[in-house]
Amino acid sequence: MVYGGHLMATSISSMRGAEDLAGYIARNYRGRVGEVGVGYYSEVARLLEAQGLQVTLTDREERLVAGLKVEKDDIFSPRLELYRGAGLIYSIRPPLEMQLAMGVVAAEVEADVLIRPLMEEVARLPGFSRRLVNWGLASFYLYGRDKHNEPKTAGSSLRKADKLMK
C-alpha cells in the first residue's frame, strides 16, 4: 500500500530479532517445539524448521501459512497430543490469558514456555520460574519448570490460573 509516496506494510513480513529468537531456540532445544497462536506470521517457525526442529503450529483455525500446516487448537481447551513431546511451547505477542493457558499446557506436558510479549504484558505462571533473556536483537521471557514442584493436573492448574486472572 502506498501512502504519501511511501510504501507501507500491510501485513507482518518480518519481526525484529526473529533470526536471533529462532537461533536461541535451536541452540537450546532439540526435537519438537510448539508455537501457539501463530496467526499469519510464520518466520520463526520456518527458521526453526530450517535448523532441523519439528515445529507444531497451532491457532483457532486449521490452514496453511507460508506452506506450513497450522493445526486447529484452542489453548483454553487444548488437544494435549499436539504438545506432548515438545520441549518448548512458545508464542509471539500473546495476551495474558493465553500465556496463563500456555503455562497450564506446558505444566501438563512438562515443557518450558517462551513468551515474546508485545509490550510489558507478561504473566506469572504457577510452577515456573521466569527470566528475561536478551539474545542478539531478541528479547523474550523464558519460563522453566520449578524443580521442587510436582507435576500438576490440567484441572488444578486451570483453577489456579483462573484465580490469578480475578
Cell of 86: 515438545
* The three cell numbers locating residue 22: 529462532
Categorize the per-residue pLDDT at 151 as very low, low, confident or very high, splitting at 50, 70 and 90.
very low
3-state SS, residue 91: strand
Domains of the chain, residue spans: 16-165
Residue 148: pLDDT band (50, 70, 90) is low
pLDDT of residue 61: 96
Backbone phi and psi for residue 23, each to the nearest 5 degrees, phi listed first: -65, -40
Fold of domain 16-165? Rossmann fold (3.40.50)
Strand partners, 134: 139
Largest CA distance in the chain: 59
* SS3 state at 134: strand
Quick one: average pLDDT of 101-106?
A: 98
DSSP percent split of the chain into helix, strand, coil, nearest 5: 30, 30, 40
Reported as a pLDDT band with limits 50, 70 and 90, residue 51 is very high
Q: How confident is the model at residue 121 (pLDDT cuts 50, 70, 90)?
A: confident
